[in-house]
Amino acid sequence: MKLVTFDEGRVGELRDGKVVELDAPSMREYFERGGADATGREAELGDVRLRAPIIPKKFFHTAGNFREHEDESKVVDWSHEIAPWIVFFQNVDAIVGPEEPIVYPEHLTEELDYELELAVVISKAGKWFGAEEAMDYIGGYVIFNDITARDIQRREMRSGVFCFCKSIDTFCPLGPWIVTPDEIGDPHDLHMELRVNGTPRQESHSGNMSVTIPEILSHYSALGYSAGDVVSTGTVSGVAGFSEDAASLYLRPGDVIEAEIEKIGVLRNPVISWQEGHGEPAPPRVRW
């Protein structure tokens, strides 16, 4: 099943190119209730506007699970170690959906980067469970593009903590829909690719994780999950910032990013200038 949020926040299921509306006021409440019935209303997919499929109560941002990402950082002598078992909370107000723009905050950064990630939607509340129980807590999978200001990140990482660089408004594209586990099968057997203007930048496989998704979910269950929470699983190699020619690969207004994961789909987002996004010039340059 593919679950969508559309138009003014209505919840639906994608069936044969049609969006079948479900009787739930939000996707979070869909998972809190354990599902919802169809209302009888439906529309063609092309006639609705897809939104971010879910706005979670908590967005667990985990990193360091693909060691290939750490390996590529060493090639360019990145300023800090990409340690395993990194976690912090993402700013849920930064979430945008498919086709929604990423607004380039040129007063804050000159090094805007992309990070393709597979994310997990939690189906029910839970705490302190083992890896052997974790699959029972998975409601679905969704694509996450972890937009990052690398120049801000390097400064933040001096303290060992980074968050602002990834939490700026529109830096959290999520979508295009949530795919339930029955359609995914093994989540560790998915091809992953991110393209900028049609050119592949990141290409990997979910099986390259150094840990399993059940291990990730179990590890952070001490923090407590709510139904509809989202847990990211970290990015793969190929980011601009860890390239030997990073300056030529950083995102710019006018770029279009396509983040694709096998069996889920494609999350597409354009990058626009602050002027285009806000109708006025960017504020004066500040250094974070």
Bridge partners, residue 225, by sequence: 126
C-alpha to C-alpha distance for 31 and 124, rounded to whole angstroms: 7
Task: State residue 202 phi and psi, 5-degree precision.
Answer: -120, 135
pLDDT-based confidence at 73, cuts 50/70/90?
low
C-alpha to C-alpha distance for 187 and 262, rounded to whole angstroms: 10
Q: Which option is the CATH number for 1-51: 3.30.110.70, 2.30.30.370, 1.20.1630.10, 3.90.1280.10?
A: 2.30.30.370
Q: Tokens 């393209």 correspond to what residue? A: 195
Task: Report pLDDT digits (tens) over 180-198.
Answer: 999 999 999 999 999 999 9
Task: Report pLDDT digits (tens) over 220-260.
Answer: 999 999 999 999 999 998 999 888 899 999 999 999 999 99
Per-residue model confidence (pLDDT) at position 71: 67
Per-residue model confidence (pLDDT) at position 108: 96
Residue range(s) occupied by CATH 2.30.30.370 in the chain: 1-51
Pick the closest to residue 195 from 264, 120, 145, 141 (CA basis): 145
pLDDT-based confidence at 288, cuts 50/70/90?
confident
| CATH architecture of structural domain 53-278 | Alpha-Beta Complex (3.90)
Residues 75, 77, 78, 84, CA torsion sign? positive
Distances (CA, A) of 171 to 4, 104, 115, 259: 20, 9, 11, 14
C-alpha to C-alpha distance for 15 and 44, rounded to whole angstroms: 10
The beta strand positions in 50-137, using DSSP E, are 59-63, 86-89, 95-96, 102-104, 112-113, 116-122
Task: Report pLDDT digits (tens) over 84-136.
Answer: 788 889 999 999 999 999 999 999 999 999 999 999 999 999 999 999 999 99
